[in-house]
Amino acid sequence: MRNSNALLIACALGLIACGQGSNNTSQGGTAGANVVSGAGTSAIAGGGTGNGGAGGAPNMSAAGTSTGGTAGAAGSSSGSSGSGVSESAGSAGTSTAAGTGGAAGGATAGTAGSATAGTGGTTPLPPLKITSDTASIEFTPLLVAAENFYSGTATVGSGGIVTMLSDTSVDLGSNAETQSLRQSVDHPNLRIIFTVTETFYRIVASRSAGVSKLADLKGKSIATIPNTSAAYYVDKMLRTVSLTDKDVTIRSASADTIPNLLANGTVAAVTLWEPSPQVAMDRIGADAIEFQDRSVYREIVSLHSTAETLANPEKRRGIVAFVRSLIQAQKQFREQPDTVKPRVVKALNMDAALLDKVWHNEQWLGTLVPDILDVLVEEDVWVAAQTGRTARTRTQLTPLIDDSIMKEALAGM
């Protein structure tokens, strides 16, 4: 921002030539715009006998309009000063610089009249369509980013990356890394660009089912959703006691039915993303026993796009801005949770007290987690075994990650 303001003031004071029209070889050439991020655009008065030709259109993040004098014919003649006005969030600034016309072509900056830096507007951002698991807590930072921080239009609908990959109108999709690995086999153009949420899982078991320690799960039934990050967590946890998911019976269930299966004794344990484990725990009360090891695994819900979408300059501009908005939303989740919890409760039609109980199992760090490739390499062994394919190498998985969007977003903050 400091560099942008310096450029604005230099233009207004006539220290540098700004906003010259291109290829204006006759009387009445159009003054070009100043590209100044986050500052009011300044108009440079042109020479000639007339007043007030049209200013150049704003470029990228400088969206305020400017009006300058039109360039005169070859030679110099007095020109009247133009004025520039820009607005953002209701605040406006004007800048004026009087100058004399130069040679045929554009007007050159002369001695400054007065200059007052204003707050720059932004070029309208492209509309974005995002799909996610809208029944999960993990999607809610996307919702807040879209509704509170993205200055364009962004909609968040149900679907995730499967929908994004099948519908070209969808720009972004979010899912856990397990689904990234599954979908990228048939869609090598899939790209992970940012981390939306990290979730710490837990296994909730019933003491009356004979479970007092994790190893007691051997030979028993565990309800979860197969082929998901939750099922992967079961395998990871069992391996800490020299068991695998082959030593238990995985019972397929939905988020809604999992608590009942534990409560009625159909299964000995359950695991899934929140709040299903907490609901199950509340149902059986003191009979519940919890197994959680945060060093073993955490679900990484990522924001995805495709290589083709990221190569589109206009869409990319919007995606960078959206990731910047997501970073702002995540900061609010971390530092001001009470301001966003009502939004989460409303979006999920969830009890506020229940959300409070599980909130500590979520984290929003505002970055693309640095160990994402390590996680993918290790986890693809398990994912590949579920589908009977060969696990991919680190080199093969590397293109799945694109951190350039995150870097551009952070550079603009």
What confidence tens digit (pLDDT) does each residue in 37-67 have?
Answer: 333 333 333 333 333 333 333 333 333 333 3
Contact 229, 177 (CB under 8 A): yes
CA distance 205 to 119: 57
| pLDDT of the residue at 108 | 34
Domains of the chain: 1-123 (no CATH), 128-200+298-411 (3.40.190.10), 203-291 (3.40.190.10)
| pLDDT of the residue at 412 | 87
At 92, list the tokens: 């406006």
Prior bond of 124 cis (ω within 30°) = no
Low pLDDT (below 70) residues in the chain: 1-122
| pLDDT of the residue at 218 | 97
Residues whose CB falls within 8 Å of the CB of residue 77, separated by 6 or more in sequence, listed in order: 47, 48, 49, 100, 101
| pLDDT of the residue at 357 | 98
0.85 cut: is pTM over it? no
Residue 74 phi, psi (nearest 5): -55, 145
b (16+ CB within 10 A) / e for 306-319: beebbeeeebbbbb
CA distance 160 to 170: 10
Positive/negative CA dihedral, 44, 49, 52, 55: negative
CA distance 325 to 148: 8
| pLDDT of the residue at 57 | 36
CA distance 248 to 223: 10
Is residue 113 helix, strand or coil? strand
At 106, list the tokens: 């554009």
Nearest one of 33, 13, 3 to 21, comparing CA atoms: 33
Q: What is the H or E stretch that residue 157 is in?
A: strand 154-158
CA distance 216 to 221: 11
Neighbours of 187 (CB within 10 A): 18
What confidence tens digit (pLDDT) does each residue in 378-404 have?
Answer: 999 999 999 899 999 999 999 999 999
